[in-house]
Amino acid sequence: MKKALALTSGILASFAVPFVSSAQTITNITGVGNFVINTINNVLVPVIFAVAFIVFVWGAFEAFILGANSEEVKEKGKNLMLWGLIGFFVMVSVWGLVNILTGSVSLNQTQTNLPGASGLR
């Protein structure tokens, strides 16, 4: 129990380091919005995608390899694959909503450089 608590505390502390290091750079509400959006897009979404992918692959492994002779194991693997796909769908939806919010509220202050036809003048 103590090892699990120590491991969980260490993982949470490692995720908290970027928040602590950038806490002094946020000075206004736009900075807070950018920080939250960037944290969701650059930290939370990739981690959840990775977990959903691992769950899906483990479900496929259970359904097709471990469950070759057992219907119960096959069904468990199929359920894991389903939950992995649901996780993918939810994260794509969250990612899309965050990008819609970013575009509509103008929290994203980066300017996109579109390719130009400079040679055709």
> Helix 29-39 crosses helix 71-105 at what angle (to 10 degrees)?
160
Q: pLDDT (tens digit, 9 = 90+) per residue, 78-87?
A: 898 898 898 8
Alpha helices in the chain (DSSP H): 2-21, 29-39, 45-61, 71-105
Query: What CA–CA distance (Å, rounded) separates 92 from 18?
Result: 24
Rg (CA), the chain: 21
User: Length of the chain in residues, anyone?
Assistant: 121
Average model confidence (pLDDT) across the chain: 75
The per-residue pLDDT for 44 is: 82
Whether 80 and 54 have beta carbons less than 8 Å apart is answered as: no
Q: pLDDT (tens digit, 9 = 90+) per residue, 28-66?
A: 777 777 787 788 778 887 888 888 889 889 988 888 888
Q: pLDDT (tens digit, 9 = 90+) per residue, 80-112?
A: 889 889 888 888 887 788 778 777 776 555 555
